[in-house]
Amino acid sequence: MADTGLVVSVFLALRLQRPLFIEGEAGVGKTALAGAMAAALDTDLIRLQCYEGLDVSHALYEWDYARQLLELRILDATHALGREGAEDARRQLYSEAFLIKRPLLRAIDPTRTRPAVLLIDEIDRADEEFEGFLLELLAEFQITIPEFGTVKATEPPLVILTSNRTREVHDALKRRCLYQWIDYPSFEKELAIIRERVPHASAQLAERVTAMAQELRTADLYKVPGVSETIDWVTALVALDRQTLDADAVDQTLGVVLKAREDLEALRGRRASELLDRAIARRA
């Protein structure tokens, strides 16, 4: 279901081994692209969900301090911590056996025989300091761990970064990436997605829900529904054994597609019915 521009961007990201930075409104399929690529390449999807306060210990690695302490006590109990053994003990405690690999480190693990798909999701939610930390990874597919050394990928991953534009991402990060914007799909494209994802929905139900979703995006809403909400709406109506979308069904299930109290209060009842009539008329 991808546009030509997106397909070309993904191909170049693979061929040039460059990260792909994708922006777009929430729910347009940015995260789904990473899953689709992992399935197409028959490889692992490694996801790092970004959030405010994300740090190295959650994104890259941390040491298993409990096991290190236990090992240290064992060495002390066996009198292996003399002067001669102190340096060996240090190397042993900071070896791969005590290294807990987080998503970024797992993606560039040199023992990988197939490149993974690394999804760095919603990078705009992370702090700017974390962006700076990513620069070495995105430029060289390597990370330096002070106690351990430099870890460099032998099979560089396909890196996909997504952003909902809650804040502007720094240019230094963007320069290391290819860029693609994903917009809301056309009626025909969204309908094709619905038929692919919810094949057991009736033709009329799929068409009316898609048309209504398109109409809702023209309304003055606090949170405009994305494709993921359209899929959820069709799935919910199928679960209710609905074969079509009418005013009654809209009123009963509007909470599936709208996720803000203000939007629900503004659209319930007559206005939702008017939008449905307009959506049906446009596709008649």
Is the CB of residue 29 less than 8 Å from the CB of residue 192?
no
Residue 80 has pLDDT above 90, yes or no: no
pLDDT tens digit string along 129-150?
Answer: 888 888 888 888 988 888 888 8
Shared domain check, 9 and 144 = yes
Shared domain check, 223 and 126 = no
Most confident region among 38-47, 163-172, 273-282 by mean pLDDT: 38-47
Shared domain check, 151 and 52 = yes
Shared domain check, 251 and 234 = yes
Q: State which of 182, 206, 222 marks the end of a domain.
A: 182
Shared domain check, 75 and 205 = no
C-alpha span between 255 and 233 (Å, rounded):
9
Residue 8 has pLDDT above 60, yes or no: yes
Range of the domain at 18: 4-60+102-182
Mean pLDDT (whole number) for 86-111: 83
Shared domain check, 274 and 169 = no
Higher pLDDT, 108 or 76: 108
Dihedral sign for Cα atoms in the order 108, 109, 115, 118: negative
108 pLDDT tier (thresholds 50, 70, 90): very high
Q: How many angstroms from the chain centroid is the CA of residue 221? A: 24
CATH code, 135? 3.40.50.300
Averaged confidence pLDDT in the chain: 89
pTM of the model: 0.84
Q: State which of 47, 75, 93 marks the end of a domain.
A: 93
pLDDT for position 132: 84
Q: State which of 52, 75, 93 marks the end of a domain.
A: 93
Shared domain check, 196 and 134 = no
98 pLDDT tier (thresholds 50, 70, 90): confident
Shared domain check, 277 and 203 = yes
Shared domain check, 216 and 107 = no
Shared domain check, 24 and 77 = no
Number of domains composing the chain = 3
Instruction: List Cα–Cα distances, 243 to 26, 210, 246, 248, in angstroms.
Output: 28, 14, 10, 13
Shared domain check, 18 and 158 = yes
C-alpha span between 13 and 155 (Å, rounded):
14
Shared domain check, 201 and 147 = no
